[in-house]
């Protein structure tokens, strides 16, 4: 069977940790979209691992696959593999020949475009990893795929076509000087070496075939989503999105397996929910508590609605970007967002993380709906401008006292404070989806598992 792990909100919901928790029975963990813009944390035997490209299961000796829907920066990939090896692990990572390759000029162009947009305050706040420009080239049919790297001639031919265009774009359109990142010979040499290593270490696969064979052999496969539904290029708040499909459909197109494998009788789709909201980068956030300079649109210092509370939650939850270190914007849980997400993904279950972070507050809120033009909306309007104009309608809950996470995890759901259970059950009822597990701390043993989707 397969289980797909999807971010239900804006990324950083704790997907890496959930992949790890449900991953015991798993043989293969496949990423299906995104690249080294992701930052997934796994805490294993007291050690913290932060992975941006290598699938989280690799920490636990599972085979990791980067599917065709991913964009791969080989330099990051090998850095991560080497770093894991230095820590005594032996990660088994395979890369789809159909995945697209991130080149240094993509990263440079990512920065140039953000810089240009920032003149009008329109920047997305990307991670600067070249994700958008690489997917642009993929859609523009001028991208270079992992399988192209292994042929010296094919690689040269493709670089000779695309690099002069990129140079012209940087120099003539944006007026920026180009350097090594746009040098065909240097790129050819660097990427030929990566290809050599990919080949020598037998990392190249046809993802769909590889995964189908493993499933056929009775193995369990997990699809690890990166980012989240509200930054999905189709279902998120365009243009403040990433350039791929984190939503569950992406697990099919991004691996080469049919939709029935992901969402059929043998497939579970689990939405990862943070008990409040965080956002890195620009775009609307109707239930935001207080702004963050540089990311919150129209941010004015001192005008945060609940600055102190936001800072408290940010610090308790360690809400600083895994990749960029930026402070994350913080808001209350938003059900309109989660209803949208539940439909777009077809969640069969959810995991609600970070319940411990809210412990100790007198009251906690959930955005139950929005008000827009005198009407109540229970899901997200399709245009970002309308979404930005939504005012949250809150439901207030009694807070819960701090609890011993390990004891609660050990004793099970009933040991959670009654107020926390009321919060969880309200969300389950509103979404019509059961909570398979509850996160009560960052550690592996700090999770209350009610249902393991593999069992």
Alpha carbons 110 and 97: distance in angstroms, whole number: 24
Q: Do residues 39 and 8 lie in contact, with contact meaning Cβ atoms separated by under 8 Å?
A: no
Q: Which of 67, 349, 442, 453 binds ligand GDP (CB under 6 A)?
A: 442
Q: Which of 14, 17, 39, 283 binds Mg ion (CB under 5 A)?
A: 39
Annotated active-site residue 340? The verdict is no
Q: Determine the 3-state secondary structure of 384 from DSSP.
A: helix
Closer to Mg ion at the Cβ: 279 or 368?
279
DSSP letter for each residue of 219-288: --EEEE--S-GGGSTTTS-TTSS-SS--STHHHHHTTT--HHHHHSTTEEEEEEEESEEEE-SSS--TTE
Among 316, 364, 353, residue whose Cα is nearest residue 438? 353
Q: Rule CB under 6 A: is residue 40 a binding residue for ligand GDP? A: yes
Query: Which member of 20, 36, 40, 340 is catalytic?
Result: 40
CA 204, chain centre distance (Å): 24
242 binds, among Mg ion, ligand IMO, ligand GDP, none (CB under 5 to 8 A by kind): ligand IMO
Q: Which of 80, 123, 334, 356 binds ligand GDP (CB under 6 A)?
A: 356
User: Which are the contacts of 378, defined by CB distance < 8 A and separation ≥ 6?
Assistant: 335, 336, 339, 369, 370
Q: Rule CB under 5 A: is residue 20 a binding residue for Mg ion? A: no
Among 3, 5, 17, residue whose Cα is nearest residue 353? 17
Q: Determine the 3-state secondary structure of 100 from DSSP.
A: strand
CA 335, chain centre distance (Å): 19
Q: Which of 2, 5, 10, 12 binds Mg ion (CB under 5 A)?
A: 12
Closest contact distance (angstroms) between CB of 123 and ligand IMO is 9
Closer to ligand GDP at the Cβ: 156 or 326?
326
Closest contact distance (angstroms) between CB of 255 and ligand IMO is 17
Query: Which member of 12, 36, 110, 232 is catalytic?
Result: 12
Record the tokens describing residue 215, joined without a space: 């499933």
Q: Could you tell me the sign of the dihedral formed by the alpha carbons of 64, 276, 283, 229, in that order?
A: positive
162 binds, among ligand GDP, ligand IMO, Mg ion, none (CB under 5 to 8 A by kind): none
Residues of this chain, 40-79, that bind ligand IMO according to CB under 6 A: 40
Alpha carbons 444 and 44: distance in angstroms, whole number: 7
Annotated active-site residue 12? The verdict is yes
Closest contact distance (angstroms) between CB of 421 and ligand IMO is 27
Residues of this chain, 252-281, that bind ligand IMO according to CB under 6 A: 280-281
Alpha helices in 181-223 (DSSP H): 184-200, 207-216
φ and ψ at residue 353, rounded to 5 degrees: -95, 165
Closer to ligand IMO at the Cβ: 98 or 329?
329
Site stretch for ligand GDP (CB under 6 A), options 172-180, 295-303, 329-337, 351-359? 351-359
Residues of this chain, 278-337, that bind ligand IMO according to CB under 6 A: 280-281, 322
Alpha helices in 64-103 (DSSP H): 74-86
Alpha carbons 180 and 168: distance in angstroms, whole number: 14
357 binds, among ligand IMO, ligand GDP, Mg ion, none (CB under 5 to 8 A by kind): ligand GDP
Closest contact distance (angstroms) between CB of 15 and ligand GDP is 3
Closer to ligand IMO at the Cβ: 322 or 348?
322
Site stretch for ligand IMO (CB under 6 A), options 55-63, 126-134, 346-354, 362-370? 126-134
- Binding stretches for ligand IMO (CB under 6 A): 7, 11-12, 37-40, 124-127, 129, 131-132, 226-228, 231, 242-243, 280-281, 322
The residues binding ligand GDP (CB under 6 A) are 7, 11-17, 39-41, 43, 317-318, 322, 353-354, 356-357, 439-442
Active site residues: 12, 40
């Amino acid at each position: 069977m397969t289980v797909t792990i999807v971010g239900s909100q804006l990324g950083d919901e704790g997907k890496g940790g959930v992949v790890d928790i449900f991953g015991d029975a798993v043989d293969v963990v496949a990423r299906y979209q995104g690249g080294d813009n992701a930052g997934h944390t796994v805490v294993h035997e007291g050690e913290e691992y932060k992975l941006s490209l290598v699938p989280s299961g690799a920490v636990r000796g599972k085979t990791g696959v980067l599917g065709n829907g991913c964009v791969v920066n080989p330099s990051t990939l090998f850095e991560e593999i080497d770093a894991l090896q230095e820590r005594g692990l032996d990660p088994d990572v395979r890369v789809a020949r159909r995945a697209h390759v991130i080149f240094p000029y993509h990263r440079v162009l990512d920065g140039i475009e953000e810089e240009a947009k920032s003149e009008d305050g329109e920047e997305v706040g990307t991670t600067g990893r070249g994700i958008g420009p690489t997917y642009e080239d993929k859609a523009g049919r001028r991208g270079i795929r992992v399988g192209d790297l292994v042929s010296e001639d094919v690689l040269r031919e493709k670089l000779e076509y695309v690099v002069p265009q990129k140079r012209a774009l940087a120099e003539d359109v944006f007026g920026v000087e180009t350097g090594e990142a746009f040098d065909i010979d240097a790129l050819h040499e660097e990427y030929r070496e990566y290809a050599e290593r990919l080949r020598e270490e037998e990392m190249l696969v046809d993802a769909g075939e590889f995964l189908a064979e493993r499933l056929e052999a009775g193995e369990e496969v997990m699809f690890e989503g990166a980012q989240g539904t509200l930054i999905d290029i189709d279902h998120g708040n365009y243009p403040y999105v990433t350039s791929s499909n984190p939503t569950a459909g992406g697990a099919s197109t991004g691996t080469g397996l049919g939709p029935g494998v992901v969402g059929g009788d043998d497939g579970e789709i689990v939405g990862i929910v943070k008990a409040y909201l965080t956002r890195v980068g620009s775009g609307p956030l109707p239930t935001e508590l207080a702004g963050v300079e540089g990311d919150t649109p129209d941010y004015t210092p001192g005008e945060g609605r609940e600055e102190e509370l936001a800072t408290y939650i940010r610090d308790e939850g360690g809400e600083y970007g895994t990749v960029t270190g930026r402070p994350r914007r913080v808001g209350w849980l938003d059900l309109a967002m989660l209803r949208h997400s539940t439909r777009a993904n077809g969640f069969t279950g959810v995991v609600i993380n970070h319940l411990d972070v809210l412990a100790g507050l007198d009251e906690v809120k959930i955005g139950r709906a929005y008000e827009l033009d005198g009407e109540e909306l229970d899901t997200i309007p399709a245009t970002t401008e309308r979404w930005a104009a939504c005012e949250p309608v809150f439901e207030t809950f009694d807070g819960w006292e701090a609890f011993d996470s390990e004891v609660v995890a050990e004793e099970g759901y009933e040991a959670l404070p009654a107020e926390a259970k009321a919060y969880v059950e309200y969300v389950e009822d509103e979404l019509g989806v059961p909570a398979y597990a509850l996160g009560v701390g960052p550690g592996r043993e700090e999770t209350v598992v009610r249902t393991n989707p593999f069992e």
